[in-house]
Amino acid sequence: MTPMIFDHPLIQHKISLLRNKNTGSKEFRELVGEVSMLMCYEATRDLPLKEVEIETPVALAKTKVIAGRKLAFVPILRAGIGMLDGVLSMVPAAKVGHIGLYRDESNGSTTHEYYCKLPSDINEREVFVLDPMLATGGSSCDAIAQIKKRGAKHIKFIGLVAAPQGLKALHEAHPDVDIYVGALDEKLNENGYIVPGLGDAGDRIFGTK
């Protein structure tokens, strides 16, 4: 599937607030949660339904419920954690895995996994990998490769802001993964930051700078 840029007005408005350097950590965290909730709503639009019969207080009704694979959310540590509450508010019964990677500062592109704990039935689930930033794509490409290695077969990626390079890298490395982002920015700068972007998502969510 061609990567999807969600252009819902609420998503665009909230991402603009996230971009503002004067938005403090508390508001930033809340906004990341709200945008993630809206993106999850859009990204689950194609979940299959099945018809069931239930008894309302008035009559028997033929109605629909979600069918097929159950969901799992896997935030990429650390900034992906900021998206978790928002997506869980949409799908509270989903299971949650975690994957942690850090980038090798000496060469900027190699990533090292330092943590991975996934639901034991990950191979049977529809997996949504969460990371607010898709910059070079190194973190998400490697995280998804590790998640696949542990058995996941059906994966979608939800990000808030992407650079063209990251979107291309992720799509080329994992053409089977549906990619949803809230904004496609202009470029990366020499430090690998998205321009105009929103800065370091982890630092802004957790107030570490």
Binding site for ligand URA (CB under 6 A): 79, 133, 135, 192-194, 197, 200-202
CB 169 within 8 A of CB 137: yes
Closest contact distance (angstroms) between CB of 101 and ligand PRP is 7
76 touches which of ligand URA, ligand PRP, none (CB within 5 to 8 A by kind)? ligand PRP
Q: Shortest distance, CB of residue 102 to ligand PRP, whole angstroms?
A: 6
Among 72, 76, 118, 122, binds ligand PRP (CB under 6 A): 76
According to CB under 6 A, which residues from 173 to 192 bind ligand PRP?
192
When CB distances are held under 5 to 8 angstroms depending on the partner's kind, the choice from ligand PRP, ligand URA, none that residue 193 binds is ligand URA
Nearer to ligand PRP, 151 or 202 (CB): 202
**Residue with smaller CB distance to ligand PRP, 69 or 102:** 102
For the segment 85-124, give every residue that binds ligand PRP (CB under 6 A).
Answer: 103
- Give DSSP secondary structure letters for the chain: ---EE---HHHHHHHHHHH-TT--HHHHHHHHHHHHHHHHHHHTTT--EEEEEEE-SSSEEEEEEE-SPPEEEEEEETGGGGGHHHHHHH-TT-EE-EEEEEE-TTTSS-EEEEEEE--TTGGGSEEEEE-SEESSSHHHHHHHHHHHHTT--EEEEEEEEE-HHHHHHHHHH-TTSEEEEEEE-SEE-TTS-EESS-S-HHHHHHT--
Residue 36 binding ligand PRP, by CB under 6 A = no
Residues that bind ligand PRP in the complex, under the rule CB under 6 A: 76, 78-79, 103, 131-140, 166, 192, 200-202
